[in-house]
Structure 1
Amino acid sequence: MVDSIFFLHKLISCGPCDEVSFYMNLAFYSIQIQIETLEKHHECLKRQRDAVKYRLKKLAARQSEITKKSSVIREKIIRKYREIQAALDEDLRITLSHLEMEERAAVSALDGLMERNCSLIQEIEQDLARLTVAIMAQSDTEHDTMSFFSFPEQRDTETVDRVMDLLNRTDPSSVSLDEVKADQILSLTHNMLLFISSQTPLIRKLTHSYSSEVYLDPETSHPKLIISPQGDSATYTDTWQQLPDLPGRFDTTLNVISVQGFSCGRHYWEIDVSGKTYWELGVTYPSIPRKGNTEDCWLGRGVESWCVEFFDGEYTAWHGGLPHQLPFTKRFSRIGVLCSFPAGLVTFLEAENMTPLFSFCAGTFSECLHLAVCPGHDHKGTNANPIVICNASSPTSDQE
């Protein structure tokens, strides 16, 4: 550029010259300016390219870092679950070994009693055999042979006494397991099961700790929505209500958003959609369009909102007008919505089992977020149920 200025100054300061030379020099100057401009643009593009390449490198490094961190966290959690399983397996082994030891002792005691009974039966059988032989040979039996049965009444009395004594000593009820102890073990294991069940899925307790109470804003609701006095439900009505045409009121889509908006921390809500055949719910920026037939007024169709829709037995997640078909066919009765500002994440859950349905990662939210719901038309009575927010009795939210 300096050379061009110098050349222009020289051209002007020169003495009179013919017209052809002047225009030739002017054309040369113009070409020089164009070349310098192109070179400058070329350098600028190179710098921009290098900046984008550097950002791409940083993004790739961040992606790798997140993948590694997630892998480390996953391995730690797996290890803890394995330790829990190992502790339970060891406790089961010890408990069963105690039961088996007691069983062996009881079985051994019963073996001894059964052996004594068998021994006496064998003696009685021998006496019966000798007596049978004696009876059959009574007519020609010698006196010495009958000497064994010389006093049958006395021997009968002795045998009865021995049998009664043995029966008293070998009463089956005298040998038993410690059933009270067994019942206590069963009670303890049942209590353990109840405790574990109360803690699982682990994510339930954690997620519920983010519960935040919200109420629907009647000043934003479509005129065909009835908002409950408590602000916790929206019901479709076929009658257009005479409501003030406020700037924040949806006038085409059957939407309503919450009074509360959140800009930090983690927040969780559960919405009851039982008995409904169509609904939309999610979160939105307050800047979502609310007037006219523009598609962005629908939840998830613009960049201002994220939602899950249930329609015709199918679930679809929406954001920025892009649909994501979800692989679920069961009609869920309660849906959870979790938004995390630290992670820039919006997650939808099946609330009963905390099954993840879909997650959106926004990176960073540019505005505060409001809960948004759409109960849909009643569809000839098949979708007449309200959509209800299940506020926690003692809501807390993480403000980290």
Structure 2
Amino acid sequence: MAEEEKDIPAAQRLAAVSCVGTAPPAVHIRGRQPSPLNLPPQDPTTDEATLPYPRSPRLARKTNQPAALSREALSRHLEDLQVERSRTEAHLQSLKKRSDDLSRSAEAMKQQIGERFETMRQALLKEEQAGMDWVEQDRREASGRLSRVLRDWTLHLKQVQKNIACAKKALEQAGKEGTQEYTGHLSCQKKEDAAQEGSKMNEGRFQRLLKALRNISKDLQAQLQRKSFLLDSTAVHIDRQTSNRHIAVGLDRRAICFTSEPQAAPELPLQFDRVCCALGSAGMAAGKHYWEVDVGCCSAWAVGATYGCIERKGADKGAKLGRNRHSWCVELREGHLSAWHNDHHVACQVRGHRPPRKVGVLLDYQRGRLAFYDGRTMKLLQEFCAALTSVFDRMHHQFTEPVFPAFRFFKPDSGQLGPSRMEICDLRL
């Protein structure tokens, strides 16, 4: 045996090893001892052979492939795939059903909205027809009165023409026979009667109708605009821990009153100690929000919004609404309405207009927009957005922190009536 192994060329043995990819059989050469680096004999029960040298990349890729699955494993895998297919089909059916339900729900909503607007359109058409009918009736009545006046004046014209003919005839006779007195009726002046004044259409009533319709149109436009804001209405309540001691907060935390005497209460860390200010209880960090404040019973006020990092202690600009880069407001002082941010202000009231009795605040957090409206006419008082960076330095066109509603009373000067009361309106539909 040893002789046969000795006769095998070494090159053939190496070629066989490289082709098969397994360790070469143990060859004992006569006169030599086994090398200590030789690995122990391969266990025939193992699936893979241990090589004494690195495998080629192609062989490594082949050996890394998963082993062939048995028939039972393939059956189980097929069953799992079928179950997953059933679950996927059921989920797709559920999504399709949800899509159909969503479409039906949207159609039902559209129908309801259309019915509401159709009711308003019918009411407007009815009022329009009533106005047209009134104008037509007034025209007919005025036309009838004018026809009677025209008939009277036609008869008067005929009488005048008859008198002219009589006068000419009398004049001719007087020239032939000498001067004679004429005893016939020569009156030609007709007094205007009251019917002539009523021959015109009721212009005064028509002007009053136009004015009423103009006011109704303005109110309707304001209410339609306010309607979209009310869809984003937010319940705002006063945070007692932030309110100054000169501010009394109602039980519902929506009404605040100014008191000349400070309330007996311990000083809190988040409380404004020098500025007569209070904040809302919840910050707004996403979405659109709208709230209204009734300021009709207050002579000097500020309504706005602020970050929670506004200063609470002291009377510096850092604690006053609109006097720092963390807050925005509109305020009424000495009858002048103005908008403030970062200690810059602009007038936002047209002369001749009364100060608003309600202030609406619209916050669009994602768009970085904060707008103030007259709550009755929905006239825009002031808007803070990216376009106003040139007016208000360091204007944030994107909010970076939660925004809190803010309210401030101004202490009265000597001899003037002071602020009294503000209330957050209940906008529940």
1:238–1:122 CA distance, 2 compared to 1 (3 A): closer
1:295–1:249 CA distance, 2 compared to 1 (3 A): same
| Residues 381-390 or 251-260, more deviating | 381-390
CA–CA separation in structure 2 for the residues paired with 1:271 and 1:250: 22
Tell me the TM-score normalized by structure 2: 0.49
Q: Secondary structure at the match of 1:366?
A: coil
Match of 1:345 among 357, 369, 380: 369
CA–CA separation in structure 2 for the residues paired with 1:317 and 1:111: 64
**1:132-143 paired onto structure 2 within 5 Å:** none
Does structure 1 conserve the Cα–Cα contact (< 8 Å) formed by 2:292 and 2:375? no
- Give the C-alpha shift of residue 225 in structure 1: 1.8
CA–CA separation in structure 1 for the residues paired with 2:210 and 2:259: 52
Report Cα offsets for 1:134-192 as digits up to 9, x if no partner. 799889x9xxxxxxxxxxxxxx9xx9xxxxxxxxxxx9969986979x99978975664
**1:149-298 paired onto structure 2 within 5 Å:** 192-201=213-222, 203=225, 206-207=228-229, 210-262=232-284, 263-272=286-295, 276=299, 278-292=300-314, 295-298=317-320
Relative contact order, higher structure (CA 8 A, sep 6+): 1
**Partner of residue 363, structure 1:** 397
**Partner of residue 153, structure 2:** 114
Report Cα offsets for 1:263-302 as digits up to 9, x if no partner. 42231323415552x4332112334332456642222344
Aligned length: 278
Does structure 2 conserve the Cα–Cα contact (< 8 Å) formed by 1:338 and 1:347? yes
CA–CA separation in structure 1 for the residues paired with 2:198 and 2:261: 75
The residue identity in structure 2 corresponding to 1:253 is: V
Does structure 1 conserve the Cα–Cα contact (< 8 Å) formed by 2:302 and 2:332? yes
CA–CA separation in structure 2 for the residues paired with 1:298 and 1:175: 66
1:226–1:102 CA distance, 2 compared to 1 (3 A): closer
CA–CA separation in structure 1 for the residues paired with 2:280 and 2:172: 104
Q: Secondary structure at the match of 1:338?
A: strand
Tell me the TM-score normalized by structure 1: 0.52
Does structure 2 conserve the Cα–Cα contact (< 8 Å) formed by 1:255 and 1:373? yes
The residue identity in structure 2 corresponding to 1:242 is: A
Match of 2:344 among 304, 309, 323: 323
Does structure 1 conserve the Cα–Cα contact (< 8 Å) formed by 2:236 and 2:424? no
The residue identity in structure 2 corresponding to 1:123 is: K
**Partner of residue 395, structure 1:** 428
Q: Secondary structure at the match of 1:220?
A: coil
1:354–1:381 CA distance, 2 compared to 1 (3 A): farther
- Give the C-alpha shift of residue 381 in structure 1: 5.9
- Give the C-alpha shift of residue 388 in structure 1: 0.8
Does structure 2 conserve the Cα–Cα contact (< 8 Å) formed by 1:199 and 1:205? no
Does structure 2 conserve the Cα–Cα contact (< 8 Å) formed by 1:236 and 1:376? no
Q: Secondary structure at the match of 2:361?
A: strand
Does structure 2 conserve the Cα–Cα contact (< 8 Å) formed by 1:284 and 1:370? yes
CA–CA separation in structure 2 for the residues paired with 1:306 and 1:227: 22
Does structure 1 conserve the Cα–Cα contact (< 8 Å) formed by 2:298 and 2:421? no
CA–CA separation in structure 2 for the residues paired with 1:313 and 1:190: 29
Does structure 1 conserve the Cα–Cα contact (< 8 Å) formed by 2:139 and 2:201? no
Does structure 2 conserve the Cα–Cα contact (< 8 Å) formed by 1:236 and 1:378? no
Q: Secondary structure at the match of 1:270?
A: strand
Q: Secondary structure at the match of 1:122?
A: helix
- Give the C-alpha shift of residue 121 in structure 1: 3.5
Q: Secondary structure at the match of 1:218?
A: coil
The residue identity in structure 1 corresponding to 2:308 is: P
CA–CA separation in structure 1 for the residues paired with 2:251 and 2:415: 23
- Give the C-alpha shift of residue 375 in structure 1: 0.6
1:119–1:205 CA distance, 2 compared to 1 (3 A): same
- Give the C-alpha shift of residue 340 in structure 1: 2.1
Question: Structure 1: which 5+ residue stretches go unaligned?
Answer: 1-91, 142-155, 160-170
CA–CA separation in structure 2 for the residues paired with 1:352 and 1:360: 20
The residue identity in structure 1 corresponding to 2:428 is: P
CA–CA separation in structure 1 for the residues paired with 2:296 and 2:215: 28
| Percent of paired sites with the same residue | 21
1:128–1:284 CA distance, 2 compared to 1 (3 A): same
Q: Secondary structure at the match of 1:324?
A: strand
CA–CA separation in structure 1 for the residues paired with 2:210 and 2:381: 33
CA–CA separation in structure 2 for the residues paired with 1:128 and 1:294: 100
Match of 1:376 among 406, 410, 421: 410
Q: Which of the two has higher C-alpha Rg?
A: 2
1:291–1:110 CA distance, 2 compared to 1 (3 A): closer
CA–CA separation in structure 1 for the residues paired with 2:337 and 2:209: 42
Report Cα offsets for 1:35-64 as digits up to 9, x if no partner. xxxxxxxxxxxxxxxxxxxxxxxxxxxxxx
The residue identity in structure 2 corresponding to 1:395 is: R
- Give the C-alpha shift of residue 256 in structure 1: 0.7
- Give the C-alpha shift of residue 110 in structure 1: 5.1
Report Cα offsets for 1:74-93 as digits up to 9, x if no partner. xxxxxxxxxxxxxxxxxx99
